[in-house]
Structure 1
Amino acid sequence: MKKRFLSLGLRKKIQFLFLCTMIVCILFCSGIFYLILENQMQQSIADKEISNRTAISNNLDSTMKSINSISRLTMLRSTVRTFLLAESNSTPRTRNALQEIHDILNTFNLSCNVVILRMDGQYLNTGPGITYVNTGKIFETEWLNEVMAQKGNYVIKAGTRGAFRSNIGEMVSFVRVINDINTQKPIGILAINLPSRFFEQAYEGLSGETSHFALYDTSGRLICKDNESTFSSLNPENLLQNTREETDKLFYKSIFTCDTLGDSHFILASRLEVRILDGLPAKLLVALIIGAFILLAFMWLINTYIAKNVIYPIQRLVDSMAEVQNGWLHRVSMNVNDDEIGLLKNSYNAMLIEINQLIEELLQKEKTLRMAELDALQEQMKPHFLYNTLDMIRYMALENRTDEVYNMLETLGNFYRRFLSKGSTDLSLGEEIEIVKSYLTLQRTRFEDIFTDEYEIEEGLSSIRVPRLILQPLVENSIYHGIRPKGEHGVIRVTVKRQEDFLFLSIYDNGIGMSAHQRELLFSGKDSRSFGFQGTIERIRYYYKTEDVFEIHSTEGEYCEIILKLPLSNGC
């Protein structure tokens, strides 16, 4: 490991040491940060547990106060006591008792059903929905003894389908014995029934993704719950024992509790989950983040200073020396101090200046020669087409074909407007295609529609810059050396598409094609008839600084296709 480290370059050594230092600092700060958040998480879940239990207990206490008030007011009504103490029941007596109970219920915001049972099994009930009373179940010895044993206190029974059934859903019954005021002997039973879903209001607003609750009566029977899977494994034996389970994981803590809510008649089961960032004060979080950024920024400044003043200058010199071996003689331009690195840079640049001056002189001579050749080629191409076209227009004018003369002159004007391109060496692909279209329109008119021109242009490529006038000479060859010699109607197809980092321009004609020998002459530049083709290929090579710019596919007597392969620079 040590030997491998020593074999690294200076830049990689410094970067490796700096990276190790940064990792150690980040781990240290992360550890401190985690300890702070862990402590905060413990406090957060404790506070959350207390606040939830308090809120649910207060909500249930409010419900119990309403039930107690309804119970007390009901038992004090004379009509109710008359109903219970009468030796026989009568319809007016029952109606009066029901009316007073109904009036009591209207004064409370509590949707409940009230059932009054005489000891002989007769009863009356009122409230929302339809309640079915099974007196046989209620006066069973076990059921009745449980109520009597409370001596006026409530027995809470959840899911009492055997005694009370309602068409509005599962019921929770608060049952107590009614004693005679004078003799304190039981004279009846009072049952206040509430829908089970009513008790979901106790944890409304508290239940969520990380907090789940369930309520049970003191016998372990379920009243309501907000999540099926969380409490599905609980059984009455677990519920009757106070249970508390904690689960600690990295960045996560969960607490499951199951115990009686104070002095109430309910058992609350809850599962609370807290993630490490829950409950973190915003100011503390912002301070920790700012501190981490300051530390990283400070270390980054140190790294930047070392890279700028030591690593970068040395690397630039090394890279430049490596480029010299490949023929690139670029001077190193950078601001350095007047130290050993600065002296080395100045000496190196002085040497490159002398070498570049010699190379520049040679390149300028070569460039001047090449540009002269290209200018001569383009000047030769301009009058060649113009003379032929004007000659055709002259004959059309003599024949008084004024509309066609106008169209030809307008097309010719558009062609040369784009052709000249204000003297620039390149133009957009869209303009180059328009030049070809104008040219073929003129030639199709001149040769009396001996060919059809077709275009397959891939979208999104029209703005790409290409050398000026690279397609016109090729389509001209298709007419004069392909379609016309064949002596029948032909097709000229122009195709433009992009593949990876190249633009492919294809000129296809179904003329006489060319033999393998002719193709070899074109590739070698020895075909005397191909001056326009060779000049076009040379201009493309000069423009793109590459030799591999075209392909020829042909079958003699059938077709010829010339494909230009143009590099796309800068991901265009």
Structure 2
Amino acid sequence: MKKVWKMERYRNASIQKKLTLSTWVVAIIPIMIIFAIVFFVFINVSVENSKRQSQMLLDKTVEELDSYFAQAQEGMNLMVTDINVQNTIDDYVMGTYKERLDLRDFIRNRLTNMSTVGRRTGAISIYIKEADKTFSRDFSDKDLSAACAGAPWFEALLAGDTAFVREDGDSLQDGRPVWILASNIVSVKNGEVQGLVYVELDKQKMIQPFYDLVEGSGDEIICSGNEIISDAYREGGHFVPVYSYSSALGQDVEFRLQLKELQRGYGAALSYFLIGMVVLIILIYLIDKLLADWFSRRIITLRDATREIATGNLDVVVCDDHTDEIGELVQSLNTMVKDMKRLIESEYMVKIESQQATLTALQSQINPHFIYNTLESISMLALIRDNYEIVDMAQAFSMMMRYSMEPSTLVAVREEVENVRNFVTIQKIRFPDRFLVEYAIDEECMAEKIPRLTMQPLVENAFKHGFEDTPEHKRLLVSVLKRRGFLVIRIFNDGMAVPAERIARIRELLMPDNQEETLDCFALRNLSRRLKLLFGGKSRVTLRSGNGIGTIVSLRIPLRKEGEEDDDKDFDL
């Protein structure tokens, strides 16, 4: 019941409220949803981009760390496989004191030239097993056998149980944490262990790139069980982990991205999103309100006008010069009111004129019979006095009068042609030997029905405009034929040509949508309208004229049973 009441309330709401509600449903609410979706996607994409970027940085840092180990190990491999170094160790064991000094200097030169990883390297030494001597690159010559005695890795290397070890330890120089890389030297001559190469890598300097990676970000890196934290203040919270495997360390390095730092950037983005959304919603609301007020105001004006018209006030005029649909409705309403007013007035005047015509008809019932009788009397009097021209004229005029006063609208072509002949008879008496009349009437057309007084006004125009102002002998041709489903009537004269400007004006007046009220070209316009009313839009009145060619007026009237298609080439203006 409540739902039905809400629907009824919506139906009865004003158009302004409906437009506003539609804007919220169609525009504002979807925009809010789209903003929420876009922000959610933006956060996810940002997190993924941060993870991807952090992964790249972590991979690069781990790769750099592994490359340090690889360089150090490569330098050691070159040293332990160097034949000259192995020969020097053999010679040192068997040599004199002076020879040992020279061989010691050779070993130190080799250590100096050994590929290292820069300042990240601590002590680099060679330990000679049989001589129990240690020589280092920095001339400190710390005794490895004393420092590493009892260390399992040291004993395993000298015993040949393993070829390479990497151990955590303390530097021989200052006790700082280092990674110890050691590889035994195996003689290629007898396969015995001659000693070992010892290298220290400074842990702090080796993992310094990790510190650089997290510095000032609040993130952290877990490397070899040690937590590297940036200098920025970090509260406990959630992290997004990123991992990269280090072949040198033999484990994953974990890069923890602190969500608080990411969320801090997202908060700014959310603020901008919300501000943009609020501004956009306000703009949409204001623009929609302006448009809704504008449209509803015009519609309300239109509604008030229709209410006034409904009360009988036909003097209402709505002013709206816009060309949209509402403007078209306003123009249509104004036109309708004007037509209604004119129709009511014309109907009122028609009724008055009808009443007056009825009174006049009642007073003049004998007038037509009086005219016929008078014409017959004139004819008989002229016949008695042997004036046959007057007889012919009076009889022709009497027959034309009877024909024009018949009540029927449609007549046979035969009757219309006979009326034309009577008219021509009168004109021959008026203009003797001035023109020649020819008739080309298809016998099949004689029974076809056409409007009364269709041909005679056209013939009259030919005499009026073509023959009166020229003394030359002229020709008039009246033709009726059937052509492709149409009855074609042509009235041709070779008299004065109609000027081109006049032809253009006549064609304009004959256009179906021309509503100009004028008596100009009355006969042709009246005939064209009668044909349109009786036979529809396919009927046509056309006019051609030219100097040396003559003037031809053509009528095209659809037959009752249309056959072939129209042949517009014969009838176009």
TM-score range, shorter chain: 0.3 to 0.5
TM-score scaled by length of structure 2: 0.37
Larger Rg: 2
